[in-house]
Amino acid sequence: MLDPSDIVAAADLLWAHWQAGTLIDGLPPQLRPAARAEAYAIQALLEKRSAVPLFGWKIAATSKAGQQHINVDGPLAGRVLAESVLPMDHPITIGANQMLVAEPEFCFRFGADLPPRGTPYTPAEVMAAVDKLYLAIELPDSRYVSFVTAGAAQLIADNACGHQFILGPEAPPLWRDIDLVQHAVTGTVTDRTGTITLAREGAGANVLGDPRIGLAWLVNEMVALGTTLRAGEVVTTGTCMVPLPIAPGTVITADYGSLGRMQIRFATAG
């Protein structure tokens, strides 16, 4: 079991590597969380390094394929720090990102607080607290050399692979009447010559069967730890398709059909 000073030391170490863009094999054994609660305590200290209020939350490993890829048995919750949010209309520098993928996602914004309570929130109660849906793309990453073998607790401590985030346009109000489970999303990769090199299709069903179920999962995961989900925060619910590869000079387009479209461009120098 980690004591408070161990939790601080683990958060300090991870934060230092995030700032430097460097990798570690794993947390030292004496700082390694053995349980999810310890891991989330480390992650929460990363939030305290932010100079502005929390922008929102993210979910990792929302599909069976994603869980198998990083060897976990269920989803993981992370934080979206305001400093990690990038504008959609400026080229993105890839930098030290080692995962090198883009993930089109459904992103909900709360219009009301969801505080801790004695019983879990139902999906209907969670959706009643949502005021907007946005399109979004996440650019995940990790500070571990081998994130596929780090394990759930270490990945949670490392902010559940949360790295950079692009909030796209707000979806029109008709989203509430759409079956998000079956709603198709098309993702394309265009190279620096303007040629589409890859096209993939996904749907909301890839997000724990339903993005709204994923949203409720995150709410209950965090309120069980005594955390309030606050009005104005967003939750990006995990990729709705097999992640799209990125490289310097590429353009990623995510087309959500009747809900809108977003596009991001990567700088030609990594």
- Residues 92, 86: contact at Cβ < 8 Å? yes
Query: Alpha-carbon distance 58 to 239, whole Å?
Result: 10
Q: What topology is assigned to 52-265 in CATH?
A: Fumarylacetoacetate hydrolase; domain 2 (3.90.850)
| CB contact burial 219-244 (16+ within 10 A = b; e otherwise) | bbbbbeeebebeeebbbbbbbbbbbb
Q: Which of 131, 247, 262 is nearest to 185 (CA)?
A: 262
Residue 219 has which token pair?
């709410």
Enumerate the domain spans of the chain: 52-265
The predicted model gives 177-196 an average pLDDT of 96
Q: Is the pTM of this model over 0.85?
A: yes
Locate tokens 């709603």: which residue? 183
pLDDT at position 270, please? 62
Kindly report, residue by residue over 135-181, the tens digit of the pLDDT: 999 999 999 999 999 999 999 999 999 999 999 999 999 999 999 99
Burial class (CB in 10 A: 0-12, 13-18, 19+), 4: exposed
Ramachandran assignment for 71, one of left (phi > 0), alpha (psi -120 to 50 degrees), beta (any other): left
Bigger pLDDT: 25 vs 70: 25
pLDDT class of 69 with cuts at 50, 70, 90? confident
